[in-house]
Structure 1
Amino acid sequence: MAGLALLPLAAAQARADICAVDALDREVCLERPASRIAALSPGATELAFAAGAGDRVVAAVEYSDYPPEALKIPRVGSHGRLDLERLLALTPDLVIGWVTGNPAEQLERLEALGMAVFYIEPRNFDEISATIEQLARFADTREAGEAEAEQFRREMAALAERHAQAEPVSVFYQVWDQPLMTINDRHWIGQVIALCGGTNVFGELERLAPRLDEEALLAANPEVILAGGRGEDNRDWLAHWREYPSLTAVAQDNLFFVPPSLIQRPTPRLLEGASMVCEQLDRARARREGEQ
């Protein structure tokens, strides 16, 4: 009789054996591998594909444009305002939520309706790899996901090693224009700058993405200005800084464009963005040496 009494517990444990701890430090479990995934940020969509689960993604949000196959996925609003009716109609069995990007009340509503919501917020290189591995566990695509995660770890480490002895270069990274915003050293972009031998002129500020005024930037006088823009090939933000010819970055022509999707999404493509940043800082060093 005792053995029979343990059968329901054993069966429940067998059903709920696909578990991972999310960015809110909650254990999320599925009874079976996810087959219908809702990815509620462009980064979440990329990470799902990186985990080998792209063919399981049935819902995405605006600007989920990579890989190209992601463009075919039905949209359920924007990351900042979800179309819950549309999302529910697609019956996902796993929802990938973005801690600081999705409306908390909408994700809580999904949970109240019984959906499994796994919150992500990778803040560094290791957490990007770990998130890929977690999503691969949920989708039962571990081989593909672990291979992608390990390749990202290995190549980022190699890039760091190549620039370990690089001469410091002072850098300003512009994440937005109005209001003017940057990142601190705890942000993954700040970590990319450090990996490439750069010194973030606002790296010690407390906020992850602090607001500034132009006077603060002029006073910091960085040797390099990095910026994206509204779109993948919009260099208007850099053009603005040419109005200040006394800036060192302007005088030395160290105004460099970085496509936002390559560096402002915590996904494996950050490796491509980091490689570009390292090349740009190397160009700035070469120009400095050319003046000597």
Structure 2
Amino acid sequence: MEPAMIRSAFLLSLALVAAAAQAEVSVRDDIGNTVKLAQPAKRIVSLAPHMTETLFAAGAGAQVVGTVDYSDYPEAAKKIQRVGGYSRLDLEAIAALKPDLVVGWQSGNAAAHLEKLKGLGYTIYVSQPNRIEDVASEIERLGTLAGTGAVAHAEAERFRERLAALRAQFGGKATVRTFYQIWKQPLMTVGKNQIISDAIRLCSGDNVFGTLEQMAPTVTVEAVIAANPETIIASGMGDSRPEWLDDWKKWTSIDAVKRDNLFFVPPELIQRHTPRLLEGTEKLCRHLETVRERRRKKQP
């Protein structure tokens, strides 16, 4: 090929890349709204820690110009400017950042705040993944909006492969009646549509409050005693086992207490809808395996 032709072909390829970068992008968010941008987002504000982490996983961390408190993973997320907390947003701080995309959280952000931002003309993507597999789709959708589709697709495929491996390993096991405790006062658990319930199902567990419609219902100690779970698993707030998990030891009629099946999963691994959810799910599954082993030892 002649040098002039090579140069022309090279310039054409650059033009095609540039055109693709400027092309309109569109996805459907978790509440069914079509989110459309004239070109991939260059300035993104994330209104939830899990969304910040997922944006980084999708290859879009460099475009995140604002986020909320507790957005601490990966390490680079700690350096991003804060716009309040997910439940107490600073709308003026968000506006000052001039985002071309705002990523919100349906069950965490106040609906009034999201409506206000939408009314001000900002493009809003709303996140609410209630099933583990939804995380992979969300990575891909955010990658589309940020123009990092290749990175996002590769990450989503890795997630799906690991998820399939966990299902193959822990699916079809003997059922374990499970009480998942988020907090002590008020005593909170997870309902049927919460993603942790999906993790419990993957591990062949049965959420004893899995018929409740609320995402994070409040229950009573009496209700837990009546449900008689074979294991109690808690997350709490930090990366260490909450002291209040051992408060159950005084309720000796509960099978979980009789067999010392009181376990902990770090909240950042299971309460955030991110790729690390699979780490938390695996820990949960292994706890249920311990319950089964102890059950077998009790049998004659």
TM-score by length of 2: 0.89
Letter in 2 for 1:195: L
Letter of the aligned partner of 1:147 in structure 2?
A
Task: Give 1:219's match in structure 2, choosing from 206, 223, 226.
Answer: 226
Percent of aligned positions that are identical = 48
Structure 2 residue aligned with 1:45, among 52, 56, 67? 52
Given the superposition, is the C-alpha separation of residues 233 and 217 from structure 1 closer, same or farther in structure 2, using an over 3 Å criterion?
same
Q: Secondary structure at the match of 1:242?
A: helix
Contact 1:125 1:153 in 2 (8 A): no
Q: Distance in 2 between matches of 1:129 and 1:268?
A: 8
1:73 — aligned with what? 80
Q: Specify every segment of 5 or more residues in structure 1 that has no aligned partner in the other structure, as ranges.
A: 1-13
* Cross-structure match for 1:115: 122
Q: Distance in 2 between matches of 1:113 and 1:184?
A: 34
CA contact (8 A) 1:160 1:195 kept: yes
Cα deviation for residue 164 of structure 1 reads: 2.2
2:66–2:83 contact (8 Å) kept in structure 1: yes
| Whole-angstrom CA distance in 2 between matches of 1:262 and 1:97 | 20
On the 8 A contact 2:23/2:40 being kept in 1, the answer is no
Q: Confirm or deny: 8 A CA contact 1:22 1:118 kept in the other structure.
A: yes
Query: Is 1:61 paired with 2:72?
Result: no
| 157, 160, 175: which one aligns with 2:167 | 160
Q: How much has 1:89 moved relative to structure 2?
A: 1.5
**1 CA distance for matches of 2:203 and 2:125?**
32
Partner of 1:178: 185
Q: Structure 2: how far apart are the matches of 1:40 and 1:199?
A: 32
The answer on whether the counterparts of 2:131 and 2:195 sit within 8 Å (CA) in structure 1 is yes
Separation in 2, partners of 1:190, 1:107? 27
Q: TM-score, normalised by structure 1?
A: 0.91
What does residue 263 of structure 1 align with?
270
Take 2:254 and 2:54, find their aligned partners in 1: how far apart are those partners?
Answer: 38
Q: Deviations over 1:218-274 (max 9, x none)?
A: 111111000011222141231211222232111111100011111111111110000
Q: How many positions carry a matched residue from both structures?
A: 279
1:118-159, Cα deviation, whole Å (9 max, x unpaired): 111111122211111110001111111011111111111110
Q: 2:212 aligns with which of 189, 205, 213?
A: 205
Q: Which moved more, 1:173-182 or 1:219-228?
A: 173-182
Over 3 Å counting, the alpha-carbon distance change for 1:240 and 1:197 in structure 2 is same
**Structure 2 segments unaligned to the other structure (5+ residues):** 1-20
Per-residue displacement from partner, 1:73-123 (whole Å, max 9, x unpaired)?
Answer: 111000011111211112211100111211222222222222111111111
Give SS of 1:203's match.
coil
Contact 1:241/1:250 (8 A) holds in 2 = yes
CA distance in 2, matches of 1:169, 1:107: 39
For 1:277 and 1:185, locate their aligned partners in 2 and report how far apart those are by CA, in whole Å.
17
Distance 1:78 1:260 in 2: 17
Q: How does 1:9-20 map to 2 (within 5 A)?
A: 17-20=24-27
Mapped to 1, the partners of 2:285 and 2:68 lie a distance apart of 31
Q: RMSD value over aligned CA atoms?
A: 1.5
Do 2:192 and 2:213's aligned partners in 1 also have CA atoms closer than 8 Å? no
Separation in structure 2 between the aligned mates of residue 112 and residue 197 of structure 1, nearest angstrom: 44
Find 2:154's aligned residue among 144, 147, 154.
147
Hey, what does 2:17 align to over in structure 1? Answer: none
Return the offset for 1:16.
6.5
Separation in 2, partners of 1:113, 1:15:
24
From 288, 291, 300, the counterpart of 1:284: 291
Paired with 1:43 and 1:230, the residues of 2 have a C-alpha distance of: 15
